[in-house]
Amino acid sequence: MEQQTLTRPSTSEPVAAALAAMAALIVGGSVPVTGLLNDYPLLTGQAIRYAIGALALYGWLRLRDRRRRSPSGGATASASTLPRLTGRDVFALLGMVGAGMVGFNAAVLYGQRYATPGLVAAVLGASPLVLAIAVPALRRRWPSPAALVGAVLVIGGVAVLTGGGSWHGPGLALALLTLACEVMFTLCAAGMVARHGAVETSTWSCIVAAVGESALGTVFGGWRMPTGTEAAALLVLGFVVTALAFGCWYTGVSVLGADRAGVLIGLMPVSGLAVSVLLGAQQLTMVAALGAATVTAGCVVGLRSIGRANEHGPARVRACSDT
């Protein structure tokens, strides 16, 4: 079997938790920005977004490597280019991009045609519990009680926050597909992040997504010049919601493990609620506030071991990319 050196994250657990939480808040709060692209071709819009994200992340890698050069002018062990992809990496990227990025966006879009946004969000809120169970199972150990309790609290809080919702036709199936895609986005990346690093993995995922969606978008939907508002939305989605959020999320996963970081996914609907209230699109009710408070409590419980030694060892998962 091919042997590869695993990267050792230098980020502390509290900082990693803060970065992962920030990523969840960014993604959850980006719904109004995404709405500005309702009239823009879906696939080519996503291709532009991921291309911007890939350029931003690659630029960060180059800048980081330049800072790491020794005073004598020689480069350190870190190369200034992206790591080479192995067969395991390609398999991981197919899961991350095909399911976690392209599939997720499509499932959310079509799911809301047959189900209320509340149902999609409520089902998506179950992803922390799936990760809390699946990740330890793949590593042949028992789930962390704290992660399980935290995930259950997050699910309950999201259900209260979103109101549960309703569906017709394939609405529930599409909501469950959204859940599966969200889990794949985190699960399939764990091994690749451990081998190459969070930013490197994020960069490769954006490159593959940009190329794939460009090809699909050329056939289905076509290209057109974005308006000023659409261009601004694409820039925000590319730089902030993609480059920054992806890098922060995978840093959290690499340090905390996918099962513990997963509870922070519950912050996405909380952030969406906060942005909606600030924009005057939604009133803050006692029920919504109770749901947000429950989600927050679940995150605290699920991450309560932060700052102590992780008894389960490195956050490497035998999934998708480690077979």
pLDDT at 11 (0 to 100): 77
Do residues 125 and 176 make contact, with C-beta atoms less than 8 angstroms apart? no
Angle at 30 between CA 95 and CA 264, to 5 degrees: 60
Give percent of the chain above pLDDT 70. Answer: 87
For 162-195, write each residue's pLDDT tens digit.
777 778 888 889 989 989 998 998 888 888 998 8
Q: What pLDDT is attached to residue 54?
A: 96
What's the average model confidence in pLDDT over 248-269? 88
Quote the pLDDT of residue 318. Answer: 44
Please give the single-letter amino acid code of residue 11: T
Does 58 score more than 80 pLDDT?
yes
- What average pLDDT does this structure show over 153-160? 88
**Rounded-to-integer distance, Cα 52 and Cα 302, Å:** 34
- Mean residue pLDDT of the chain comes to 83
pLDDT tens figures, 131-142: 989 888 888 888
Q: How many CB atoms lie within 10 A of CB 78?
A: 13
Summarised one tens digit per residue, pLDDT across range 39-55 is: 899 899 999 999 999 99
Would you state the pLDDT for residue 274?
Answer: 85
Residues contacting residue 216 through CB under 8 Å, at least 6 positions apart: 43, 102
Which amino acid belongs to residue 201?
Answer: T
* pLDDT at residue 312 tops 50: no
CA–CA dist 65, 132 (Å, integer): 35
Residue type, 107: A
- Give the phi and the psi of residue 115 in degrees, each rounded to 5: -145, 155
Higher pLDDT among residues 71 and 116, named by residue: 116
Residue 310 burial (CB count, 10 A) = 15
CA geometry: angle at 257 spanning 205 and 5, to 5°? 65
Cα–Cα dist 306/248, whole Å:
17
**For the segment 77-125, what is each residue's pLDDT rounded down to a tens digit?**
444 468 889 989 999 999 999 998 888 888 887 887 888 777 788 888 8
Per-residue DSSP letter, 102: I
Tell whether the model's pLDDT for residue 202 goes beyond 90: yes
